[in-house]
Amino acid sequence: MSELLSVEDLHVEFKTPEGLVRAVDGISYSVSPGEVVAVVGESGSGKSVSARAVLGLVPRPPGNIPKGRILFDGQDLLTLDDDSLRKVRGRRIAMIFQEPMTSLNPVITIGRQMTEAMVANLGYGKRQAREKAIELLRMVGISEPARRMKQYPHLLSGGMRQRVMIAMALSCEPELIIADEPTTALDVTIQAQILTLMEDLCQRLGVALVIITHNLGVVARYAHRVNVMYAGRIVEKGEAGDIYQQPRHPYTAGLLESVPRMDRSREDPILPIPGNPPDLIQMPEGCAFRPRCKYATDQCAIAAPEMQVLHRGHESACWNTDALSRGVAA
Amino acid sequence: MSSGPLLQVDNLQMHFPVTAGMVFRRQVGAVRAVDGVDFHIEKGETFGLVGESGCGKTTIGRCILKLEEPTGGSIRFDGDEVAHLPSTEVKAYRRRVQAVFQDPYSSLNPRMTVEEIVGEPFLVHKACARDEIPGRVRDLLSLCGLPGRVQDRYPHEMSGGQRQRVGIARALALRPDFLVCDEAVSALDVSIQAQIIRLLEDLREELGLTYLFIAHDLSVVRHICHRVAVMYLGKIVEIGESESLFADPKHPYTQALLEAVPVPDPAVEKDRQFEPIKGEVPSPMNPPGGCAFHPRCPKAMPSCSDLTPAMETVGPDRRAACPHTGPTQAAA
């Protein structure tokens, strides 16, 4: 299958008064048409910044992309000028953000926000755009769509606003949707509704989906392939089943052991990862996870491990994957 | 000290008035945030309160903390009525009941050092001499797994997990018996969340604390709580022992809620067929008649829109407010 999106050795850095922050430090991943790919990580791991870079939404300055390529349908988005990028963004790649209250304009009606993009990108007439908007709102499960079109965002609940965001994202029939923590602000029953809706729509319309999240349960339920990020790098990637069954990076393994699970006995202890994620301004030498890793050896302090292929599409950046799979701490 | 439960809540009500009019303000309705809630918490127990936003779980916590004056019902702490405590006695009560809040960013004063934050309760309550405070603070910090060198830092110099540890240390300063943990681990990253859960569990055993643990993350609640109450629109719909409630939920809302939580394992998720419940939580200003859950309930019958179901015993140590708990009842 040819790749729709291919991020290659992407670096994103920010100049701050304290020093240079390498928010994204050489990551590569790809997405095929119709696929659901997850980028998992904790705050500060660089998952959101990498997604914003794909859409050209990293403010420059203070941000800078010194290295890397973002190939979308064979075209490097980093080399495009603003006008050409604008034709891709919103039209062929859409984005759904975490907080639907701040990403919808509070003083413009839902209807105008929905139709604006269609008029600009697809050359629709006002009436045609309105009809399509109503149809989309109905498709994402909003009752009385014609009445909602006249309303302002504050009249809608969080779940409804997120549905509007999804409808907007779908309005220009994109090939790829990037969803940054799309359900983090929502209650679990609404989260389940929204994600199931997105999964269903993407499957039906053949849209590829990149979900950026910290929720390992959401990833397990919806993603085909997973990229685990830590301190600006991808430390493990592979098919969801492989990653969860047999994590081959100590960080992934630690994450999975630190979440309580509904299907396990309550007596099963949760095992936290000790310590805190590193300060991106003062990164430790060698592997960034070393100070928290129970498998760390001398080698880990000298050089950061590169990604190595373990078997069919399962890769990990760790010197001690063997020790990990045997469960022997250093 | 009496031999009954540490905390006994009976028919608790908190109705917030809704007013209209700029000049002639009048009450046009009420938000029934908490609408007749009963539960008790035994000494040494962790009791969980779960539900979606707006179900009233935080308001119950605020009533217990005396941050809100309930409009009805009673709260008895260690046998004494505290729902309408005179303001002169609130301070003594607060020595025994403390809180840990969700957001370690906004619940710590950014202009105070860690020592001032954790030491403030001693000053307010005149609990020890001024020169003893630094030593006490150091002990509290080490109890919460923080090195002594953070004592002179400001909150912004610390990570989220460290800040939450400071919040816990402050709550423990006066050696309370009871902690209200309102979404105490919700804002934290997964690996840090697990650390704080472990800390709370260890502290409970070590100091003999009792917790009211308010949270929306069901996996966390299941892990940490002994007994759990599930709330919907200001009412408890099901209450019982944690392990059995999560294994065999009786109320359709509890069932839907549990089903919506994804398990972090694709092998489990692959074989799970599920249909998310429809609709959203209605407004507590104008709740549906009868059972408040009936418009979303897959098992609703015509009678559900007329009759408000009462809590009934549906199994050993289990009560639920639904007349149609049906066949699973026999299995229990």
Task: Give phi and psi for A27, each to the nearest 5.
Answer: -110, 150
Residues A252 and A179 in one domain: yes
Span A257-282, average pLDDT? 85
Whether the predicted pLDDT of A185 surpasses 80? no
Tokens linked to A184? 């983090």
Residues A142 and A176 in one domain: no
Given 3-state DSSP classes, what are the helix, strand and coil percentages for chain A, each rounded to the nearest 5? 40, 25, 40
Q: Count of residues for chain A?
A: 330
Residues A186 and A162 in one domain: no
- Looking at residue B5, its pLDDT comes to 93
Nearest to A216 among B256, B264, B280 (CB): B264
For residue A63, is it within any domain? Answer: yes
Residues A187 and A76 in one domain: yes
- Looking at residue B83, its pLDDT comes to 86
Nearest to A220 among B198, B219, B265 (CB): B265
pTM here is 0.86
* Minimum distance, in Å, between the CA of residue A285 and any CA atom of chain B: 21
Q: What's the mean per-residue pLDDT of chain A?
A: 88
Segment A203-241, tens digit of pLDDT: 888 899 999 998 898 999 899 999 999 999 999 999 999
Query: What is the three-class DSSP state of A119?
Result: helix
Please check whether residue B137 is in contact with residue B166, taking contact to mean a CB–CB distance below 8 angstroms. no
What is the rounded end-to-end Cα distance, in angstroms, of chain B? 36
β-strand pairing of A36-40 with A208-213: parallel
The answer to whether A221 contacts B195, with C-beta atoms less than 8 Å apart, is: no
Distances (CA, A) of A192 to A6, A138, B16, B257: 29, 18, 31, 10
The answer to whether A274 contacts B242, with C-beta atoms less than 8 Å apart, is: no
CA distance B188 to A42: 9
Q: Which residue of B has its CA nearest to A185?
A: B53
CA distance A114 to A135: 11
Enumerate the residues of chain B whose CB falls inside 8 A of the CB of residue A42.
189-192
Is the four-CA dihedral B262, B265, B266, B268 of positive or negative sign? Answer: negative
Please check whether residue A211 is in contact with residue A39, taking contact to mean a CB–CB distance below 8 angstroms. yes
Enumerate the residues of chain B whose CB falls inside 8 A of the CB of residue A157.
280
Tokens linked to A130? 């309105």
- What DSSP line would sit under B237-287, residue for residue? EEEEEHHHHHHS--SHHHHHHHHHSPPS-HHHHHT----PPPS-PPPTTSP
For residue A12, is it within any domain? Answer: yes
Residues A144 and A246 in one domain: no
Other beta carbons within 10 angstroms of residue A9's beta carbon come to 11
- Looking at residue B281, its pLDDT comes to 82
Segment A153-169, tens digit of pLDDT: 888 887 888 889 888 88
Other beta carbons within 10 angstroms of residue B206's beta carbon come to 9
User: Final residue of a domain: which of A225, A251, A271?
Assistant: A271
- Looking at residue B328, its pLDDT comes to 44
The answer to whether B257 contacts A188, with C-beta atoms less than 8 Å apart, is: yes
Distances (CA, A) of B175 to A285, B121, B179, B201: 42, 11, 10, 16
The answer to whether B262 contacts A218, with C-beta atoms less than 8 Å apart, is: yes
Helices (H) and strands (E) in chain A, counts: 13, 12
- Best A43, A162, A270 member to test B by mutation, with max B CBs in 10 Å, is A270
Q: Which residues are registered as beta bridge partners of B50?
A: B215, B230
Please check whether residue A218 is in contact with residue A183, taking contact to mean a CB–CB distance below 8 angstroms. yes
For residue B1, is it within any domain? Answer: no
For residue B2, is it within any domain? Answer: no
Residues A13 and A61 in one domain: yes
Domain count, chain A: 2
The answer to whether A43 contacts B189, with C-beta atoms less than 8 Å apart, is: yes
Tokens linked to B197? 């859960």
Other beta carbons within 10 angstroms of residue A294's beta carbon come to 15
CA distance B214 to A318: 39
- What DSSP line would sit under B136-167, residue for residue? HHHHHHHHTT--GGGGG--GGGS-HHHHHHHH
The answer to whether B262 contacts A217, with C-beta atoms less than 8 Å apart, is: yes
Domain count, chain B: 1
Span A117-126, average pLDDT? 88
Give percent of chain A above pLDDT 70. 98
Enumerate the residues of chain A whose CB falls inside 8 A of the CB of residue B278.
193
- Window A:284-303, CB contacts with B under 8 Å: none
Tell whether A262 is within 8 A of chain B (Cβ). yes
Is the four-CA dihedral A297, A301, A302, A304 of positive or negative sign? Answer: positive
* Minimum distance, in Å, between the CA of residue A104 and any CA atom of chain B: 20
- Best B164, B263, B270 member to test A by mutation, with max A CBs in 10 Å, is B263
Average pLDDT by consecutive 10-residue portion of chain B (332 residues)?
Answer: 83 90 81 92 95 89 93 93 88 93 83 94 90 93 90 88 92 95 88 91 94 92 94 94 93 92 87 80 83 90 89 91 66 34
Please check whether residue B180 is in contact with residue B212, taking contact to mean a CB–CB distance below 8 angstroms. yes
For residue A218, is it within any domain? Answer: yes
Enumerate the residues of chain B whose CB falls inside 8 A of the CB of residue A262.
218-219, 222, 246, 258, 261, 263
User: Final residue of a domain: which of A271, A289, A304?
Assistant: A271
- Looking at residue B329, its pLDDT comes to 40
For residue B144, is it within any domain? Answer: yes
- Looking at residue A17, its pLDDT comes to 85
User: Final residue of a domain: which of A171, A196, A223?
Assistant: A171
The answer to whether B189 contacts A277, with C-beta atoms less than 8 Å apart, is: yes
- Window A:142-171, CB contacts with B under 8 Å: 157, 159-160
Enumerate the residues of chain B whose CB falls inside 8 A of the CB of residue A277.
159, 189, 191
CA distance A181 to B268: 22
Residues A16 and A80 in one domain: yes
Distances (CA, A) of B241 to B47, B246, B324: 9, 9, 20
- Looking at residue B326, its pLDDT comes to 60
Give percent of chain A above pLDDT 90. 37
Span A126-146, average pLDDT? 88
- Domain holding A177, by residue range, is 5-92+172-271
For residue A40, is it within any domain? Answer: yes
Q: Which residues of B172-200 are buried (b: 16+ CB within 10 A; e: fewer)?
A: bbbebbbbbbbbbbebbbbbbbbbbbbbb
Enumerate the residues of chain B whose CB falls inside 8 A of the CB of residue A43.
160, 189
Please check whether residue A248 is in contact with residue A325, taking contact to mean a CB–CB distance below 8 angstroms. yes
Is the four-CA dihedral A219, A220, A226, A228 of positive or negative sign? Answer: positive
* Minimum distance, in Å, between the CA of residue A122 and any CA atom of chain B: 32
Tell whether A274 is within 8 A of chain B (Cβ). yes
* Minimum distance, in Å, between the CA of residue A266 and any CA atom of chain B: 5
CA atoms within 13 A on the CB side of B67: 10
Residues A110 and A162 in one domain: yes
For residue B56, is it within any domain? Answer: yes
Nearest to A189 among B189, B246, B256 (CB): B256
The answer to whether A42 contacts B197, with C-beta atoms less than 8 Å apart, is: no
The answer to whether A276 contacts B161, with C-beta atoms less than 8 Å apart, is: yes
Residues A240 and A261 in one domain: yes
Residues A156 and A179 in one domain: no
A251 alpha-carbon distance from chain centroid: 18
Distances (CA, A) of A155 to A67, A110, A324: 44, 10, 51
- The H-assigned helical ranges of A151-266 are 158-171, 188-205, 216-222, 240-245, 250-258
- Looking at residue A172, its pLDDT comes to 86
β-strand pairing of B46-50 with B26-41: unpaired
Q: Which residue of B has its CA nearest to A159?
A: B280
CA distance A270 to B274: 27
Tell whether A256 is within 8 A of chain B (Cβ). yes
- Looking at residue B147, its pLDDT comes to 87
Residues A188 and A73 in one domain: yes
Enumerate the residues of chain A whose CB falls inside 8 A of the CB of residue B255.
none
Residues A322, A45, A89, A157, Cα dihedral to 10°:
120
CA distance A131 to A129: 5
Residues A88 and A207 in one domain: yes
- CATH code at A205? 3.40.50.300
- CATH code at B115? 3.40.50.300
For residue A131, is it within any domain? Answer: yes
- Looking at residue A150, its pLDDT comes to 92
- Domain holding B48, by residue range, is 7-331
Distances (CA, A) of A81 to A49, A59, A86, A177: 20, 14, 9, 21
The answer to whether B269 contacts A221, with C-beta atoms less than 8 Å apart, is: yes
At how many degrees (to 10) do helices B133-143 and B114-124 cross? 120
- Looking at residue B330, its pLDDT comes to 38
Nearest to A278 by CA among A268, A265, A291, A294: A291
